[in-house]
């Protein structure tokens, strides 16, 4: 028996390490931005790349996490693609102060804004506002990508929302620093000037509502861009910028000096003790997580490899066993964990394989636990591997809808920060109840094993097959067994491609795809950020609180 388990663990380990290796290969490609040719052209102007600027700005050897590295992955192919949506977003430390940095990547279409660029910038601002994090903009952008202007310009969550957020953050007392290190044109020119302090780099930085060509066309004035809106103009004549910098390095040095003087942030009062590593080896996660998403495993074994000392106190351990609820610490921070269980267990009802399904008793338990964490001011961590709520007459008669609604209500109204890790499946209403993107987790990440969809691939493919076959038969076509198998394979392939974690990350349904070994860092840095923003209201579940 032990040999069988070891063989299974070895098989799982090989599968998951290959998935992590694929993740790193994809990241290396993303980090190249617009490619060697565009990078060389960019550096020929005396400029650092976006990632080099961030490296020089952040404290050496300090931890960092990147938001949306895979944003726009596989999208905009007709325009040559837009790696990372043409903007790099990192949470890190500048002069020992945690902050979020947003850097345009001018090697990608001159830093132009695609629709996903706008969405990613808004996500960065959302994180800053939720956590009262200082935000630093490293501006180098040609403005809106005109061929797609209708998808980036006028709506509530488009380009203009950025400047609205600048104003709101200013009123909230959130520090905003903008460095103009390249182009900053048209409407985009408002971003640095709506920040608290603005810096501009000589010769490469420029700010204007209209460039020299448009000025000539509009009013007939002949003027070059440097005289129109360069560093000397805005630092010594217009007074638009506050600091004139010799080059990128000088600019980044000045930002570090400004950050060094910030006052101490507020404290939300989350409990933290000295950090301790898990006693169980985190690398064993690779052998525990199955190579196939339908296979059972014990979520407790994963939790042991994520929490300090591999110790946790389980709440209502024998009740509602398809969801685990437990108190623990991660990197010293107190957390409440809500996790789906996949293993086969024996109960009074007999042997059951939960498979990530949420039952009424599990929903009830999780609801109570979330309320307890809110009362105790303990951040919540959701570990998702959920296929949905239990269906069938027994569940319906038992009130599964009402119990599920209570859980969704508790997640929605929680005032303590929430963090979501998609370990495996994340299907349908289970995604919602376990704090999917729509329920405002401070950060949401997926492991390479994640799947995000309305339902599993096999079930969805069979439903779609029935619809397509019925339509073909309605047109008088005869469907053979072979033709049906061909249609099913095509549908399954297309559906499964759209449920991969990379598809989700490209659309920012996930903030990142991470190696499981990075999970503790993401949660710890997320709680540290949230520590700066005390809750503005009390926890109240409304009409479903009883």
Angle formed by the axes of helices 115-131 and 161-172, nearest 10°: 10
> Per-residue pLDDT for 460 more than 70?
no
Cβ atoms within 10 Å of 20's Cβ, excluding its own: 19
Average pLDDT, integer, range 330-342: 97
Q: What is the mean pLDDT of the segment spanning 409-414?
A: 95
User: Please, are residues 461 and 498 in contact by the beta-carbon 8 Å criterion?
Assistant: no
Question: Which two tokens mark 366?
Answer: 């999780």
Rounded mean pLDDT of 324-345? Answer: 93
Residue 3 has pLDDT above 60, yes or no: no
pLDDT of 434 > 70? The answer is yes
Does residue 77 have a pLDDT over 60?
A: yes
Residue-wise pLDDT tens digits, 465-516: 667 767 777 777 777 777 777 767 776 777 677 789 999 999 999 999 999 9
Strands 357-358 and 512-513: unpaired
Name which residue leads in pLDDT, 145 or 347.
145
Cα–Cα–Cα angle for 46, 47, 53, nearest 5°?
145
- The residue-averaged pLDDT of 118-145 equals 95
> Is residue 461 scored above 70 in pLDDT?
no
Q: How many CB atoms lie within 10 A of CB 17?
A: 15
**Which of 4-13, 79-88, 265-274, 439-448 shows the lowest mean pLDDT across its residues?**
4-13
Choose the most confident range, by mean pLDDT, from 30-44, 208-222, 391-405, 465-479.
Answer: 30-44
Percentage of residues of the chain with pLDDT beyond 70: 91
What is residue 226's predicted lDDT score, i.e. its pLDDT?
85
Per-residue confidence (pLDDT) for residue 462, from 0 to 100: 64
Average pLDDT (271-276) is 97
pLDDT for the residue 350: 55
Query: How much is the pLDDT for 532?
Result: 94
* Backbone angle region of 39, left / alpha / beta, with phi > 0 → left and psi within -120 to 50 → alpha: alpha
Lowest mean pLDDT among 305-309, 443-447, 455-459: 455-459
Angle in degrees, 0-180, between the axes of helices 248-259 and 50-57, rounded to the nearest 10? 40
- What is the pLDDT at residue 1? 47
Decide which of 531 and 388 is more confident.
531
Q: Is the pLDDT of residue 356 over 90?
A: no
Whether residue 426 is predicted with pLDDT greater than 60 in this model: the reply is yes
Per-residue pLDDT band at 4 (split at 50, 70, 90): low
What pLDDT is attached to residue 2? 54
d(CA 429, CA 452): 11
Task: Summarize the confidence of residues 163-181 as an average pLDDT.
Answer: 96
């Amino acid at each position: 028996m032990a040999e069988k388990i070891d063989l299974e663990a070895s098989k799982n380990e090989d599968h998951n390490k290959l998935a992590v290796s694929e993740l790193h290969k994809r990241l290396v490609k993303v980090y190249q931005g617009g490619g060697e040719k565009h990078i060389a052209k960019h550096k020929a102007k005396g400029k650092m790349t976006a990632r080099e600027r961030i490296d020089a700005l952040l404290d050496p050897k300090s931890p960092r996490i990147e938001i949306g590295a895979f944003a726009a992955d596989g999208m905009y192919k007709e325009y040559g693609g837009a790696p990372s949506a043409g903007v790099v977003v990192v949470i890190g430390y500048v002069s020992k102060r945690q902050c979020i940095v947003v850097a345009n990547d001018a090697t990608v279409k001159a830093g132009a804004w695609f629709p996903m660029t706008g969405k990613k910038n808004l996500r960065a601002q959302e994180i800053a506002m939720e956590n009262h994090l200082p935000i630093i903009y490293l501006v180098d952008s040609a403005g809106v990508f005109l061929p797609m202007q209708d998808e980036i310009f006028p709506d509530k969550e488009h380009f203009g929302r950025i400047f609205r957020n600048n104003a709101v953050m200013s009123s909230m007392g959130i520090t905003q620093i903008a460095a103009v290190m390249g182009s900053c044109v048209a409407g985009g020119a408002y971003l640095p000037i709506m920040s608290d302090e603005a810096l501009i780099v000589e010769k490469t930085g420029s700010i204007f509502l209209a460039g020299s060509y448009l000025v000539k066309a509009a009013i007939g004035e002949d003027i070059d861009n440097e005289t129109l809106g360069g560093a000397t103009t805005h630092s010594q004549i217009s007074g638009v910028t506050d600091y004139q910098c010799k080059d990128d390095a000088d600019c980044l040095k000045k930002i570090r000096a400004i950050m060094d003087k910030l006052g101490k942030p507020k404290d939300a009062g989350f409990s933290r003790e000295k950090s301790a590593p898990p006693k169980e080896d985190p690398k064993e996660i690779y052998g525990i997580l199955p190579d196939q998403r339908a296979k059972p495993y014990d979520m407790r074994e994963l939790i042991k490899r994520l929490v300090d000392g591999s110790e946790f106190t389980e709440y209502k351990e024998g009740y509602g066993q398809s969801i685990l609820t437990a108190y623990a610490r991660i990197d010293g921070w107190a957390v409440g964990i809500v996790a789906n269980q996949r293993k086969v267990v024996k109960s009074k009802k007999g042997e059951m394989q939960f498979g990530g399904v949420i039952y009424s008793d599990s929903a009830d338990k999780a609801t109570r636990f979330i309320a307890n964490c809110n009362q105790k001011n303990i951040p919540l961590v959701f570990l998702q591997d959920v296929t949905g709520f239990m269906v069938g007459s027994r569940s319906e008669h038992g009130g599964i809808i009402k119990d599920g609604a209570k859980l969704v209500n508790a997640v929605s109204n929680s005032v303590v920060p929430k963090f979501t890790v998609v370990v495996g499946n994340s299907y349908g209403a289970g995604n919602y109840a376990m704090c999917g993107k729509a329920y405002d987790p401070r950060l949401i990440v997926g492991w390479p094993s994640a799947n995000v969809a309305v339902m599993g691939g096999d079930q969805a493919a069979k439903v779609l097959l029935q619809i397509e076959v019925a339509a073909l038969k309605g047109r008088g076509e005869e469907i053979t067994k072979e033709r049906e198998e061909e249609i099913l394979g095509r549908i399954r392939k297309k559906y499964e491609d759209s449920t991969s974690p990379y598809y989700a990350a490209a659309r920012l349904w996930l903030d990142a795809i991470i190696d499981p070994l990075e999970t503790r860092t993401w949660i710890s840095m997320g709680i540290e950020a949230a520590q700066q923003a005390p809750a503005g209201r009390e926890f109240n579940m409304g009409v479903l609180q009883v």
